[in-house]
């Protein structure tokens, strides 16, 4: 057995499945609480009545039901939209600002066609922005504007898996461009105002 396989097995052993406790609520329903979770939140939408029912179930069997006021529905919608879009950036692998923009763009596009959630493979959008810029630089046609070239490459990358994107980044034609762009980004982020530092010494 390889060291990697041993490490995977150790991780599995170190993370036992959370114990699920089924609690009978005060209204007769049964709700499952996993691990230390003491609150389960759900909501139901009645499109015909344009109402939302929010249910909070507590581990002690107590429930609370909340119906947002009609005059606050848009405020609740705005708050939920901000939360949804912000949650897309919670991935710790998303450290590059351009990758964060790409992730939000993809989510907005997804939501605009009525799809609330979508399965994301692997590292999601980490590294996508550099790959996008590299492909634009490599394949841009003289007749294309910047926006047209970006849109074309975005459409190309949209259907590609994370493994395919990684293979593209490492291909002989693209890798030098990727490395140059990443080096430029790193240099820009690490820039230091040496004049200011020397001014502290009176130089």
How do residues 126-137 score in pLDDT, each as one tens digit? 667 888 888 888
Please state, in angstroms and as integers, the Cα–Cα distance from residue 35 to each residue in 9, 18, 39, 108, 162, following that order: 22, 5, 11, 33, 32
pLDDT of residue 123: 47
Please state, in angstroms and as integers, the Cα–Cα distance from residue 122 to each residue in 2, 12, 166, following that order: 22, 19, 11
Determine the average pLDDT of the residues in 162-182: 87
pLDDT of residue 86: 93
pLDDT of residue 192: 63
> Structure pTM?
0.59
pLDDT of residue 109: 86
């Amino acid at each position: 057995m390889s060291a990697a396989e041993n490490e995977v097995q150790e991780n599995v052993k170190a993370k036992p499945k959370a114990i699920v406790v089924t609690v009978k609520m005060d209204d007769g329903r049964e709700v499952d609480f996993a691990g230390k979770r003491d609150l389960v939140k759900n909501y139901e939408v009645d499109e015909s009545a344009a109402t939302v029912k929010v249910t909070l179930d507590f581990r002690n069997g107590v429930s609370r039901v909340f119906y947002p006021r009609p005059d606050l529905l848009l405020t609740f919608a705005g708050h939920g939209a901000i939360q949804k879009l912000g949650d897309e950036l919670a991935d710790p692998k998303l450290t590059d600002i351009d990758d964060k923009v790409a992730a939000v763009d993809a989510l907005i596009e997804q939501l605009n066609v009525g799809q609330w959630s979508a399965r994301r493979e692997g590292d999601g959008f980490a590294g996508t922005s550099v790959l996008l810029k590299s492909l634009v630089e490599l394949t841009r046609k003289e007749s294309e504007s910047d926006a047209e070239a970006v849109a074309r490459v975005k459409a190309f990358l949209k259907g590609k898996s994370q493994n395919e994107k990684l293979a593209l980044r490492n291909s002989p034609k693209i890798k030098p461009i990727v490395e140059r762009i990443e080096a430029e980004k790193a240099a820009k982020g690490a820039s230091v105002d040496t004049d200011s530092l020397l001014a502290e010494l009176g130089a």
